[in-house]
Structure 1
Amino acid sequence: MDIFKLKQNNTTVKTELNAALTTFLAMLYIVPVNALILSDAGMPKDALLVATALITIIATIFNGLWANTPVALSTGMGLNAYFTYSMVIGMQIPWQTALGAIFISSAIFTILSFTNFRLWIIKNIPLDLRCAISAGIGAFICFIGLSQMGLIVASPATKVAIGNISDPKVLVGVIGIIFMILFWTLKLRGGFVLAIAVTSIGAWIFGIYETPKEIISIPVSIAPIFGELDILSALKISLLPAVLTLFVTHLFDSIGTLTGVGNRANLFTHADGEKKLAKNLESDAIASMGGAVIGTSTITAFAESASGVEAGGRTGLTAVFIGIFFIFTLFFLPLFGSIPANAIYPVLVMVGILMFSELGKINYKDPAICVSTFLTVILMPLTYSITIGLSVGFISYFIIKLALRKWEDLNLGVITLAIISLFAFIASSAPNLFKSIIGG
């Protein structure tokens, strides 16, 4: 086990195994949740269940061996929602083309991960803006969860309204949210999974949803989605905003998660800390390219890794054990596939709540931060577009800082992102104008 430097990191095989089990239980929900979200894009759910488990296994073990950190990788929440609800449904892009866009953005991220660009971004982009983006995505996926379970519905008079809670299936979603919040508040290990299980069993017992006919089976083929990405179609100028949004969101999500998890165990503060951080970013960038080939949305570091770190995980052996645990999920796919949708969507609401809490770290006394934060957070769910919220946030921040002549805050990183955001905003809200500007 010297490859993981257990003694140097003051840990043992037993401690790493326990930490891995903790993280595994905390993030097990991603298999059914990701499959459900991506299936809304028209992709086959059974193949998605296998693909999600498979890429989690490969990416997490790879990261453990490559970066030697206790960080698990899987399909990112928020990024999978952007794939389905913004790109495929909102922009009416075929899912094959959307996978191509993920591959392109991940390839760019991979190349830049082997340069100093990532550190340049960390140093130049205000932490407040990164927190605002996280909160905005949280509001967006919470809105998706509430609307998909029928708790929020469209209304010709008020645009949105409360759904019919007397509907048994909607009621299942409401109960699921209650259990999700309750178990999280009580800090129960594997609380998300436990809430899904309790809600599902109740729905099956009362006959609201059909009970699973089998629990264990041989994994189905991922052939319907494997290698189906369309890179050439994703190279169109009109898809540049989507590629940029995927790239920027992936970058911030990775940096934010790794920074948060790392701070809990001082993973990146030692002499080799910067090297470990770099290798972690390389891992999820490479894994995202592989995920697009296998047939899943963007892969990123999972915040739930913090639970394993709290349990004592300090090295890549924890990640390797997590990957091994996920192998067992491949044989329980009939059970995952039969879980009621409204027992799963509450996860989006809870994850949205956790991401929204990032607003507590923001300095609202700064006018530019105050305005850009509000616009970023409110526009993502209202426009059903992460791109719009992201771009308007950066543009407003730049304009206000410029008006206040706060030259010290207008570094090259902020100026670069403001320019990119302007093009992304024009391309998303006025595609014909964007094409005329670039001559496309």
Structure 2
Amino acid sequence: MEKLFKLKENGTSIFQEFNAGFTTFLTMLYIVPVNAIIMSSAGMPLDALLSATALITIFATILNGVWSNTPVAMSVGMGLNAYFTFGLVVGMQIPWQTALGVVFLSGIIFVALSFTNFRIWVLKSIPMDLRRAISAGIGTFISFIGLQQMGIIAKNDATLVALGDLSNAGAIVGVIGLFLVILFWAINIKGSFILAIISTSIIAWIFKLAPTPTEFFSLPSSISPIFFELDIISALSLSLLPVIITFFITDLFDSLGTLSGVGNRANIFKEDSKDGDIKLQKTLEIDAVATVAGSLAGVSTTTAFAESASGVEAGGRTGLTAVFTGLLFLLTLFMLPFFKSIPSNAIYPVLVMVGVLMFSELTKINFEDKAISIAVFFIVILMPLTYSITTGLAFGFIAYFFVKLIKREFKDINLGIIVLAIISVLSFVIKFVE
């Protein structure tokens, strides 16, 4: 174990790595019920989703720990799971099998390019501020979905949306959950998300706002209803090309952003360091492979989790932290009755809180640049208003390219921006032709 993970070299121990892995496990435990409930809205069976989410988390996290020797845990990414469900399946009326095909294809592209210097080209091509805007835009999108699903925001024929009926039992549970998740996060409680979910559920059960569970543990549920059910042929459509690229780009940016943040805390991916570059490269490779594996298992895009930072803060320095985290997720396979008993409106407040955290990326953006300012506005405002991450991205890239062009700031227009702008235009042309 010492030889595999180089514990002494990294100034850590088995106990320290276990403590860090347990901390990461607690902070991201919420993903199992949250992802399952979100994706079940696409018409997929909840039981199978609970097991599939746990299994892909175990697989990706342990594999990454062994392969890259970094304390980075992986699971189904927040944001793209909501886009998968509400953007593609509900919004575009795409069968969930086809949507899984889209995830698979984006993962294959990611795998192919993860073994090249493409990530470096992307980093140099797309301004950091636009990458931050993508994160903020997805934040507004998933927060809007969370508020809508809780009933706090409702459809209105006169104004499109309005305040929902807050006297409804479901909305009351949602408001309680939102209050608790903000409270626990604000006072820096570790595992604030899962603690808020459990607390909200208990309150809902006590006051008869949701059915009270009769059992909490059982044998794992089969994933056969969603295993290998993806439809790759239907996903190979010209009209879905922009969506495939959106999944790929978003996953890439999400991964790079997360790994950058976690790496800085633990000094893992040291700049101008061969060892740091190798670890980053290997982590991205597992991220890509896990996305492909996840689509086969029946879940949306898998990515590195920012909650890994909590394990790093607890002393995690090697892949053994990730291995312990993955092993602890084995417990979730036997918690099916408990997860099923959680009211959905105890889950959606977490979606809103995650959106808040992603939205905070706007504070780092330079709004003095006119092209950036306009592009960021379109990305952030149009993702929720059009119910589409793809549309927000397309408007943003086109706006950035257009403003830079008319201001003759040609030094800021590179091949990457040109290619993305062309793809963005084509995405609208394809819709118009259809």
Contact 2:48–2:221 at 8 Å: present in 1 too?
Answer: yes
Separation in structure 1 between the aligned mates of residue 417 and residue 11 of structure 2, nearest angstrom: 40
Say whether residues 1:32 and 2:47 are aligned partners: no
Alignment-mate amino acid for residue 301 of structure 1: A
Q: Is the 8 A contact 1:147 1:153 kept in 2?
A: yes
Amino acid at match of 1:215: F
Deviation, 1:22, is 1.0
Q: CA deviation at 1:255?
A: 1.1
2:14 maps to what in 1? 13
| Cα shift at 1:167 | 1.3
Q: 2:368 aligns with which of 342, 365, 377?
A: 365
Q: Deviations over 1:102-156 (max 9, x none)?
A: 1111001100000010111112211100000000000000000000010000001
Taking the aligned partners of 1:27 and 1:137, their CA distance within structure 2 comes to 19
1:297 counterpart letter in structure 2: S
Which structure 2 residues correspond to residues 48-59 of structure 1 after superposition, within 5 A? 48-59=49-60
Instruction: Specify the alignment match of 1:435 in structure 2.
Output: none
Alpha-carbon RMSD: 0.9
Superposed displacement of residue 237, structure 1 = 1.5
Task: Say if 2:261 is the partner of 1:260.
Answer: yes
Secondary structure of 1:224's aligned partner = coil
Give the match's secondary structure for 1:10: coil
- CA offsets 1:197-228 (integer angstroms, 9 cap, x no match): 11000000011100112111001111100010
| 2:329 is equivalent to residue 326 of structure 1 | yes
Query: Residue 282 of structure 1 aligns to which amino acid in structure 2?
Result: E
Q: Distance in 1 between matches of 2:202 and 2:158?
A: 37
Which letter does structure 1 place at the counterpart of 2:341?
Answer: S
Deviation at 1:334, TM superposition (A): 0.7
Instruction: Work out which of the residue numbers 347, 350, 353 in structure 2 matches 1:350.
Output: 353
Q: Kindly provide the amino acid, as one letter, of the partner of residue 132 in structure 1.
A: A
Q: Which amino acid aligns with 1:114?
A: F
Query: 2-side partners of 1:170 and 1:98: how far apart?
Result: 30
Q: Where do 1:162-311 residues align within 5 Å?
A: 162-269=163-270, 270-311=273-314
Say whether the 8 Å CA contact 1:172–1:203 is kept in structure 2. yes
* Residue 86 (structure 1) aligns with: 87
Structure 1 distance, partners of 2:399, 2:90, is 28
**Displacement of 1:271 after TM fit?**
3.4
**Contact 1:141-1:352 within 8 A present in 2 as well:** yes
Deviates further, 309-318 or 410-419: 410-419
- What amino acid does structure 2 have at the position aligned with 1:61? I
Question: 2:265, 2:171 → 1: CA distance?
Answer: 38
- What is the TM-score with the length of structure 2 in the denominator? 0.98
- Conserved 8 A contact 1:238-1:431: no
Letter in 1 for 2:338: L
Query: Which stretches in structure 1 are left out of the alignment for 5+ residues?
Result: 433-440
The answer for the alignment partner of 1:419 in structure 2 is: 422
Q: TM-score, normalised by structure 1?
A: 0.97
What CA distance in whole angstroms lies between the structure 2 residues aligned with 1:68 and 1:124?
Answer: 29
Q: 1:238 to 1:230 in 2, by over 3 A?
A: same
CA distance in 2, matches of 1:223, 1:100: 17
8 Å contact kept, 1:392–1:425:
no
CA–CA distance in structure 2, aligned partners of residues 150 and 107 of structure 1: 37
Q: Does 1:386 align with 2:400?
A: no
Cα pair 1:225 1:295 within 8 Å, conserved? yes
Tell me the equivalent position of 1:70. 71
Does structure 2 retain, via aligned residues, the 8 Å contact 1:75–1:298? Answer: yes
- Cα distance, 1:261 vs structure 2: 1.3
The separation in 2 between residues aligned to 1:307 and 1:424, in whole angstroms, is 39
CA distance in 2, matches of 1:425, 1:19: 47
SS at match of 2:12: coil
Which amino acid counterpart does residue 27 of structure 1 have in structure 2?
A: M
Contact 2:239 2:427 in 1 (8 A): no
Aligned mates of 1:332, 1:181 — CA distance in 2: 26
Q: Structure 2: give runs of 5+ residues left out of the alignment.
A: none
* Whole-angstrom CA distance in 2 between matches of 1:399 and 1:7: 53
Equivalent residue letter for 1:411 = N
Residue 107 of structure 1 aligns with an amino acid whose one-letter code is I
Task: Kindly provide the amino acid, as one letter, of the partner of residue 248 in structure 1.
Answer: I
How many residues matched? 431
SS in 2 for 1:430: helix
Distance 2:47 2:135 in 1: 30
> Are the counterparts in 2 of residues 57 and 326 from structure 1 also a CA contact under 8 Å?
yes
Cα shift readout 1:383-433 (whole Å, capped 9, x = no counterpart): 010000011101101111111111111122222222222223433x4252x
CA contact (8 A) 1:29 1:193 kept: yes
* CA distance in structure 1 between the partners assigned to 2:6 and 2:409 by the alignment: 47
Match of 2:432 in 1: 430
Question: 1:18, 1:311 within 8 Å by CA — same for their partners in 2?
Answer: yes
- What amino acid maps onto 2:309 in structure 1? A
Supply the distance in 2 between the matched residues of 1:14 and 1:67 (Cα, whole angstroms). Answer: 20
